[in-house]
A = this chain, B = another copy of it.
Amino acid sequence: MVTERHARFVASTPGSIGNLGPGLDVVGCAIAGLRDEVVAEWWDAPGVTVLDPGHADLPRAATRHAAAIASAAVSFAAGRHGVVAPAPGIALTVRKGLPLSGGQGGSAASAVAGAVATNALYGDVLDVNAVLECCLVAEAKVAARHLDNIAPALFGGITLIRCIDPIDIIRLPVPAKLRIILVHPAQRLSTSMARRALPKLVPLSDVTHQLAQVGAMIAACYTNDVGLLGRAIDDRIAEPARAPMIPGFMEAKRAAMAAGALGASISGAGPTAFALSDDADVAQRIARAMSEAYSVLGIECTATVTEVDVEGTTVRRL
């Protein structure tokens, strides 16, 4: 395996909606638009050096930044493949496009970009599941041990995580007309707080309801049925638990549905809200309605109409 001392790679990774509707921890969707980028290069200091964490509020400590944790995991795994690094360490420069604590898969995107750029330095010695394992180490540290943001961030599209141990991921077809409205209020919601709000025990009737909705969401992807996808966005577990922590969410959701959204819920752990449509004009109307709902409450927000990112993570040599 040849690794070049002066190689530098940049990986670019989309954001994602985790916990897509009823698919708590198991269904995620990559979102076209904002991206995190990570440049990886060999470095003389041992271990991982974070040259730029990408945001003033992100840690420079390599043990606490998602990109660096994933990068270190890749280095460790590459070493077990017998690859000899041409330098004592790796340096990362993170360009943070996604919002912090926004529920748009920002930590997962940084982890994936860090892992993929680092793997490129090592001549892509790790296969895709090994890369996912490295990202999972980072996500488990900064959020929770799940792949519903990681997998779409890497592959693009909509993914179902059947199992993380061993990794078993199903990449779903993306309904052609699907438009996604993302509304990000000027709030931050800590992922760990949002996770603690989840119920530890769920009533059986809510479980069977949720099982049916996840099944329907998967069927909707295969049958290109955005209407069914919207009807299936009916989450009785995470949304009721987290909505009270997100001022304005319920008002924005009601406004979205009244404006013609086929479904709406919280993106990831929140506070970003999403809504679905199969029509570009209606999607614009929904975005305006959701913005107004926040505005009436005195909450600033950014609303964008976008679609599923199908490219996933890209990497190129600098």
B170 pairs with A207, CB closer than 8 A: no
Contacts A162-B231, A162-B232, A168-B231 given: A27-B204 contact, CB under 8 Å?
no
User: What is the CA–CA distance of A228 and B198 in the complex, to the nearest angstrom?
Assistant: 29
Query: Which residues from B are CB-within-8-Å of A23?
Result: 211, 215
A159: min CB distance to chain B, Å: 10
Report whether B24 and A170 are in contact in the complex, using a CB–CB cutoff of 8 Å: no
Size band of the A side of the interface? 35 or more
Contact indicator B215/A207 (Cβ below 8 Å): no
**Whole-angstrom CA separation of A57 from B26 in the bound complex:** 45
Question: What copy number does this chain have within its complex?
Answer: 2
Tell me which residues across on chain B come within 8 A of A161, comparing CB atoms: 212
CA distance A167 to B203 in the complex (A): 22
Whether the pair A215, B217 counts as a contact (CB closer than 8 A) is yes
Contact A24 B207, CB 8 Å, known A201-B202, A212-B163: yes
A sample of 14 more A-B contacts (CB under 8 A), given A162-B213, A201-B202, A218-B219, is A22-B211, A26-B208, A26-B215, A170-B219, A170-B228, A201-B201, A201-B204, A204-B237, A212-B214, A214-B214, A214-B215, A215-B218, A218-B218, A222-B223
Using A202-B202, A202-B204, A207-B210 as known contacts, say yes or no to A160 and B24 having CB atoms under 8 A apart.
no
Give the chain B neighbours of A26 by CB distance below 8 A.
Answer: 208, 211-212, 215
Please give, as numbers and ranges, the residues of chain B lying within 8 Å of A163 by CB-CB distance.
Answer: 212, 231
Question: Which 5 A-B pairs give the minimum distances between C-beta atoms?
Answer: A222-B222, A201-B201, A162-B216, A26-B212, A218-B218
Q: Is A46 an interface residue (CB 8 A)?
A: no
CB within 8 Å for A203 and B201 given contacts A162-B215, A215-B26, A215-B162: yes
Give the residue name and chain of the B residue nearest to A171 (CB).
B219
Q: Find out whether the CB atom of A212 lies under 8 angstroms from the CB atom of B162.
A: yes
Complex: A161 Cα to B209 Cα, angstroms: 9
> Interface 1/0s, chain A 19-32, versus B by CB < 8 A?
00011111100000
Instruction: Give the residue of B160, B199, B207, B232 whose beta carbon is less than 8 angstroms from that of A212.
Output: B160
Interface residues of A in 205-250 (CB under 8 A from B): 207-208, 210-219, 222-223, 228, 231-232, 237
CB distance from A245 to the nearest CB of B (A): 17
Q: How far is the CA of A170 from the CA of B210 in the complex (A)?
A: 15
Is A77 an interface residue when CB atoms closer than 8 A count as contact?
no
Nearest B residue to A163, CB-CB: B212
A214 to B216, CA, bound (A): 10
> A34 within 8 Å of B by Cβ?
no
The residue in A200, A210, A215 that gathers the most chain B C-beta atoms within 10 A of its C-beta is: A215
Q: A85 in the interface, Cβ–Cβ < 8 Å?
A: no
Q: Is A172 an interface residue (CB 8 A)?
A: yes
